Chains A and B, each alone.
Chain A
């Protein structure tokens, strides 16, 4: 490449790179740095605090993400199987809607739907299914977070899984149908194994997004411990102004995300 061309490409690449490095990579490094700082000195106390105060929250975050992921993937495998084999455009369209609904709106929508005095309880009371004097609540519990994460992520899962299913040639399904495979067996024996690599990638993708979810648990989670990790980080900064511990929590969340990323990178490289 000629020298002038190199300079031109550098000039083109530099501004966007500078923004991302300045506002993502430097802060990323500084969170590692600050997580070892306490009152201006190097210290492991932040991590000790994370261990003492937040180890349950880490498990809680992993647990909620895992349960949500299982639900999302389980539903998507069957639903997309139906959409792939039988096909139903209106339902396919319906499941694209959550993709375009911001997380905060999902949080608020679930609040008014699932709160003790929310519209779901109103509707159920109309049907005589619950007692309004002692209304059950899904909002402000772990279940509320799970429902909201499933609602939002199912759209993404349907998009990705259906894409992977569509990449499976129709004749593979016809061959199975031809020897007598029901729709369920076609999903289990043909679509699922053939789409498995994409499914693993999609799962890892969604799992890290669930781990890192912030506005949904902020709005629909309970005000008490345990909390999702991102909410812990936010509260630590906002209410305690404790950058050190917040960053140590951040590092823990990076490690969790990296673990997942590493796992799916390994499955991909093993496969290929």
Chain B
């Protein structure tokens, strides 16, 4: 079931939570909506579920226009950030509730509940069915929440930061399982997260949002390696931004000039990832044999992060980060960035 939103707009007072958002969520695929908090991603998900009435635009499930339907009539199933498992019901009753509302015979309910709980790999069924949600671990609660959503065979599965309440290890494992499960069921899934790593790991397509608008849509590698804007580049990795001016053939950053052959002209933002840069001793410009960029600066601070040392280098009044396996000593340094890893964007107006 393909899901499409067109021109979706939602205002809270004078703030636009959604500003003419148009996206197609392909059938059977897992699409992650990624963005900082307040970017409108949760509003988008909740408007697809029907919890948020929109001011303008349409929501289509296949050919059905569901924009005016109540949440009850939409046939979506949502996994909530806090799971929202009803604390007064057992695990079985939680999962069975949607089926009971549909007047499924009690015998079939039992079979379907057990089947879906097997599917989410809840473990020993006997030990779990009669328990209240509070007696389960966070990971198990999450599985029950997914089971409760899937058991009603929804047209669309909606997940609102479903892993954010779990600790890092469990989160990593469940990430894999959510993906496996979605592929196994073959359901159209929309997955909201603010965690770029999670989005890249789990999704077929990533939708990057900012300030109520869609910034970029693409497959994870495309989003990661070819961010469409300075915001996208910034949000997708530990990255550095320097302000400069782009001229034909050269890029001026403060008093330093870099070779440049790209299309941008005028005020520009230069972006590179901390892990893509290397540190070396200052020397003559010839020290960049492969044609990459070399920027002179002063190493001011160094932190040990375990896998790498993070160096804070001051270049032309701005601070950039450089990750390296070996520590460097404070003082004048040269920061080298391979040409392919240096992104140049036109600076936004104003």
Q: Do A and B bind each other?
A: yes
A61 to B49, CA, bound (A): 51
- Other-chain contact of A180, B49, B82, B84, B101 (Cβ < 8 Å): B101
| B101 and A179 within 8 A (CB) | yes
**In chain B, what residue has the closest Cβ to A195?**
B88
A176 to B98, CA, bound (A): 8
- Other-chain contact of A177, B71, B87, B88, B149 (Cβ < 8 Å): B71
| B84 and A172 within 8 A (CB) | yes
B101 contact set on A, CB distance < 8 A: 179-181, 185
| B152 and A180 within 8 A (CB) | yes
- Other-chain contact of B97, A169, A179, A194 (Cβ < 8 Å): A179
Closest-CB distance, A196 to chain B (whole angstroms): 8
| B97 and A176 within 8 A (CB) | yes
| A169 and B82 within 8 A (CB) | yes
Closest-CB distance, A122 to chain B (whole angstroms): 44
Closest-CB distance, A199 to chain B (whole angstroms): 13
| A180 and B72 within 8 A (CB) | yes
- Other-chain contact of A174, B84, B85, B87 (Cβ < 8 Å): B84
Which one of A169, A180, A190 has the highest number of Cβ atoms from chain B below 10 Å of its Cβ?
A180
A175 contact set on B, CB distance < 8 A: 78, 80, 84-86, 148
A131 contact set on B, CB distance < 8 A: none
A193 to B78, CA, bound (A): 22
Q: For window 169-218 of chain A, which residues contact chain B by CB distance below 8 Å?
A: 169, 171-172, 174-182, 185, 189-190, 193-194
The answer to the question of B51 belonging to the interface, with a C-beta cut-off of 8 Å to chain A, is: yes
Closest-CB distance, A188 to chain B (whole angstroms): 11
| B148 and A179 within 8 A (CB) | yes
**In chain B, what residue has the closest Cβ to A174?**
B51
Which one of A169, A174, A175 has the highest number of Cβ atoms from chain B below 10 Å of its Cβ?
A175
A176 to B82, CA, bound (A): 14
The answer to the question of B47 belonging to the interface, with a C-beta cut-off of 8 Å to chain A, is: no
- Other-chain contact of A178, B77, B85, B86, B88 (Cβ < 8 Å): B77
- Other-chain contact of B72, A182, A190, A194 (Cβ < 8 Å): A182
A169 contact set on B, CB distance < 8 A: 82, 84
**In chain B, what residue has the closest Cβ to A196?**
B88
Closest-CB distance, A179 to chain B (whole angstroms): 3
**In chain A, what residue has the closest Cβ to B81?**
A171
Which one of B87, B88, B149 has the highest number of Cβ atoms from chain A below 10 Å of its Cβ?
B88
The answer to the question of B76 belonging to the interface, with a C-beta cut-off of 8 Å to chain A, is: yes
| B88 and A174 within 8 A (CB) | no
Interface flags for B62-104 (1: CB within 8 Å of A; 0: not) read: 0000000011110011101110111110000000011001100
| A171 and B82 within 8 A (CB) | yes
A90 to B49, CA, bound (A): 29
A138 to B149, CA, bound (A): 53
A172 contact set on B, CB distance < 8 A: 84, 86
B98 contact set on A, CB distance < 8 A: 179-180
- Other-chain contact of A179, B70, B81, B152 (Cβ < 8 Å): B152
B88 contact set on A, CB distance < 8 A: 193-194
| A174 and B71 within 8 A (CB) | yes
Closest-CB distance, A4 to chain B (whole angstroms): 48
A95 to B78, CA, bound (A): 35
B49 contact set on A, CB distance < 8 A: 174, 178
B149 contact set on A, CB distance < 8 A: 178
Interface flags for A6-37 (1: CB within 8 Å of B; 0: not) read: 00000000000000000000000000000000
**In chain B, what residue has the closest Cβ to A194?**
B88
A171 contact set on B, CB distance < 8 A: 80-82, 84
| A174 and B102 within 8 A (CB) | no
B50 contact set on A, CB distance < 8 A: 177
B85 contact set on A, CB distance < 8 A: 175
B70 contact set on A, CB distance < 8 A: 177
B81 contact set on A, CB distance < 8 A: 171
Closest-CB distance, A169 to chain B (whole angstroms): 7
A172 to B82, CA, bound (A): 10
A185 to B88, CA, bound (A): 15
**In chain A, what residue has the closest Cβ to B99?**
A179
Show 7 A/B contacts (Cβ-Cβ < 8 Å), sorted by A: A171-B80, A172-B84, A176-B86, A178-B78, A179-B101, A189-B86, A194-B86
Contacts A176-B97, A180-B101, A185-B101 aside, 19 further interface pairs with beta carbons under 8 A come to A169-B82, A171-B84, A175-B78, A175-B86, A177-B71, A177-B72, A178-B71, A178-B77, A178-B149, A179-B77, A179-B152, A180-B98, A180-B152, A181-B97, A181-B101, A182-B72, A189-B86, A190-B86, A194-B87
B interface vs A, CB < 8 Å?
49-51, 70-73, 76-78, 80-82, 84-88, 97-98, 101-102, 148-149, 152
* Smallest CB-CB A-B distances: 10 pairs: A179-B98, A171-B84, A175-B84, A177-B71, A193-B88, A180-B72, A180-B101, A178-B78, A171-B80, A172-B84
